Amino acid sequence: MNDYPLQLDIDHQEQYSRFMPLVKWLLVLPHYLVLIVLWIGAFFAIVISWFAVLITGRYPRGLWNYMVGVARWTSRVTGYHYLMVDPYPPFSLESDPDYPVRFELEYPEKVERWRPLVAWILAIPYLIVAGILVYLGYVLVFFAFFTILFARSFPKGMFDIVVVALRWQARGNAYALWLVTRYPPWVWG
């Protein structure tokens, strides 16, 4: 779905660090502490943008950039925590094309004024399916933990399923928060 305004790509590695899965949960703690603060800020950005879109029909560019940056940072940390990449995620809201987890979103010039009122409701069916896929992803990451520990590989088929789950979750969340105006596609990929 290269024509959808949200792209989440994660590069599969040929070999993984054998013992990193044992310590990644600890290494990711500073990121989660920062993300807690960023998501508190995101709550206020959502409230302000709710009124802005309702009144003007436009998502304020600064708030939109902040929300996309928080989602991008969250995606990088999730990819790292889910053992999908070995490089440590950067502490940044900005895009980093060299990092193996890439999250990009196109700015919508106009947002329908009704969208903040009901987008989250319309997103519920999609988010339910995305949630099921993410739980499946958790199970696959559990098994990948052992394959990385013993064989230094995250099986490509399992990896691809986890990427799809994270992509569905990101698309559903972006739609629910009216960061995109197109409903997420019901396609595998």
Q: With respect to residue 97, please indicate whether it lies within any of the assigned structural domains.
A: yes
Dist CA 89 CA 74 (whole Å):
10
pTM of this prediction?
Answer: 0.93
Altogether, the residues listed in the chain come to a count of: 189
Q: Total structural domains in the chain? A: 1
Q: With respect to residue 152, please indicate whether it lies within any of the assigned structural domains.
A: yes
Q: With respect to residue 182, please indicate whether it lies within any of the assigned structural domains.
A: no
Q: With respect to residue 119, please indicate whether it lies within any of the assigned structural domains.
A: yes
Predicted local confidence at residue 1, as pLDDT: 59
Predicted local confidence at residue 164, as pLDDT: 97
> What range defines the domain where residue 147 resides?
6-176
47-58: pLDDT as tens digits: 999 999 999 999
Report the relative pairing of strands 6-10 and 101-105 from DSSP bridges: antiparallel
Q: Which of the residues in the chain have pLDDT under 70? A: 1
Dist CA 139 CA 111 (whole Å):
37
- The runs of H, that is alpha helices, within 82-152 are 115-122, 124-151
